[in-house]
Amino acid sequence: MSKQSFHELGVSPPVVRALAAREIHSPFPIQERVLPDALTGLDVLVRSPTGSGKTLAFALPIVERTVPSDGRPSALVLVPTRELAAQVCGELDPLAQAKDLLVAVAYGGMPLPAQAQRAQKAHILVATPGRLIDLLDRKSINLDAVRILVLDEADRMLDMGFKPQVDRIVRRLPRNRQTMFFSATLDG
């Protein structure tokens, strides 16, 4: 049983209401541990099992720390697969709507121009490394305003051989940013 409420952890009333509308009323232990640091902009490295609430542990700080007037996109979530990209986008979107933020997703297998157009207008971008490299190489997106970077399933992304793409993407981001790594099995 949780000791603190989302509100006590620093989550705003509109986002607390968005969580309640999804029948989420109490934070999981991983959220209780991560939110105090992540909401203040500190870098975090999190290892927690699948199903433990990792997505909300990074989604809530992203939504709370991103403002509609920020340069676009100002938050980037890199994930290893399109299935995970869709899942993360689905978790982020209702929370982002509560704060008037736009979420876009970019992954292979979908038309590139439509994804590029939506990504350019988004405050929060969820992407697979390969598709994001495509968008960057075509100059379809600019990452100069990214203030928050999340690597979700970081270990899996590296196991799948995405390190060169992730390195290329990170080099194009501002150095002054919050970085959060989330994984179920991150070791070493």
DSSP assignment string, 149-160: EEEETHHHHHHT
Angle between helix 29-39 and helix 54-65 axes, rounded to 10 deg: 30
- Under DSSP, is residue 83 helix (H, G, I), strand (E, B) or coil? helix
Res 188 pLDDT > 80: no
The confidence band for 186, taking pLDDT boundaries of 50, 70 and 90, is low
The string of pLDDT tens digits covering residues 30-49 is 999 999 999 999 999 998 87
Token digits of residue 151 = 């690597």
Going by C-alpha positions, the residue among 48, 15, 12, 18 that lies closest to residue 33 is 48
The string of pLDDT tens digits covering residues 48-67 is 877 788 999 999 999 999 99
The confidence band for 152, taking pLDDT boundaries of 50, 70 and 90, is very high
Res 71 pLDDT > 70: no
The sign of the dihedral angle between the CA atoms of 89, 166, 72, 119 is: negative
Other beta carbons within 10 angstroms of residue 188's beta carbon come to 3
pLDDT value for 187: 62
Instruction: Give all strands (DSSP E) within 99-155, no chain letters.
Output: 103-106, 124-127, 148-152
> From CA 148, how far away is CA 176, in angstroms rounded?
9
Res 2 pLDDT > 80: no
The string of pLDDT tens digits covering residues 90-134 is 999 999 999 999 999 999 988 899 999 999 999 999 999 999 999
What residues form DSSP beta bridges with 47? 183
How many Cα atoms within 13 Å fall on the side-chain side of residue 122? Answer: 28
CB 79 within 8 A of CB 129: no
pLDDT value for 174: 95
> From CA 69, how far away is CA 157, in angstroms rounded?
31
- Under DSSP, is residue 97 helix (H, G, I), strand (E, B) or coil? helix
The string of pLDDT tens digits covering residues 10-32 is 999 999 999 999 999 999 999 99
The confidence band for 1, taking pLDDT boundaries of 50, 70 and 90, is very low
